[in-house]
Amino acid sequence: MKRLLAAAVAAVSLIANLTPVANAQPSASCPSVNRNWAAPGPFAVTSASNGQGTTIIRPAQLGTLGCAKHPVILWSNGAAATVSTYQPLLEHFASHGFIVAAGEGRSGSGDPMLAGLDYLTAQNGTAGSVFAGKVDLDHVGATGHSLGGGAAVGAGADPRVDTVAPLEGGPFNDPADLHGPALYFAGQADLIVWPSVVHDRYTQSSHVPAIYAELKGADHFVVSPDGGQFRGAITAWFRYWLLGDEQARSEFFGPSCANCSSATWSKFERNAKATAL
């Protein structure tokens, strides 16, 4: 009996350790998109620089359509790119109810991304700001392309960042510092950031639920300007972890994981913790 009780306690402990903080339900429910992850969301969007090195791309009318608050996605550019290079992708995120804080420079560090989060945190608490009380600071994700993908891993070490999803990210920052789930995207024909480089980042993330998704035939530039075939998957990822969209869960987790058998990917791997989810 004692052995059975000990086994039960161990099992409960294991399950608890496999359930990331990011899976906590958001405080408000944004509208469903009926699995149309790659299609535009229901929000009209607007975009402007804050004059402090961050462009904010967001729903034009915050706090509407059932979203009392909006989760945050932090973005970082590739080494030879600017925010405008990826504007359609960032507007796509905003159309799904996210506030995107895009660093305007180029850096392998997560610090410029976190500066955008600091700005939104301050604005959320400032009476009279358009952001006042509208930013869901409990649900924050980070992504970026190439150099910026590596920077997203750095941002993911910050306890305020719940999940990361680098797009063909370079080998910058330490995946061992992540504390939440990670989705690593690679291009099968990428000759700038080789798939093996991205896969190595994935294997270094065994302490968190992690997934490796290698897009069939994709080169390094498929991401710009609108995310290409990555767009639907990364949107579903953030809608699940940051918006609590349960329709997106089966895209990645469970025995009927849609992406696991999709012909979109030349490889799609889940580590032990992701499989257990």
Mean pLDDT of 143-148: 98
- The model's pTM: 0.91
> Using one digit for the tens of pLDDT, what is the confidence trace for 9-28?
344 343 444 444 444 455 44
Residues 6 or more apart in contact with residue 263 via CB below 8 angstroms: 216
Burial of 7: CB neighbours in 10 Å, binned 0-12, 13-18, 19+: exposed
Mean pLDDT of 216-221: 98
Mean pLDDT of 118-146: 98
> Using one digit for the tens of pLDDT, what is the confidence trace for 63-94?
999 999 999 999 999 999 999 999 999 999 99
**Nearest 5°: CA angle at 81, between 75 and 83?**
45
Task: Please provide the average confidence, as pLDDT, over all residues in the chain.
Answer: 92
Query: What CA–CA distance (Å, rounded) separates 210 from 230?
Result: 17
Please say if the pLDDT value at position 252 is more than 60: yes
Query: What proportion of the chain, given as a percentage, has pLDDT over 90?
Result: 89
Quick one: pLDDT at residue 7?
Answer: 40
Tokens 């462009």 map to which residue? 55
Q: Nearest 5°: phi and psi at 226?
A: -115, 10
Mean pLDDT of 60-65: 97
Mean pLDDT of 237-265: 96
Quick one: pLDDT at residue 21?
Answer: 40
Please provide the distance, in angstroms rounded to a whole number, between the alpha carbons at the two ends of the chain: 28
Domains of the chain: 15-20+32-276 (3.40.50.1820)
Q: Nearest 5°: phi and psi at 259?
A: -70, -25
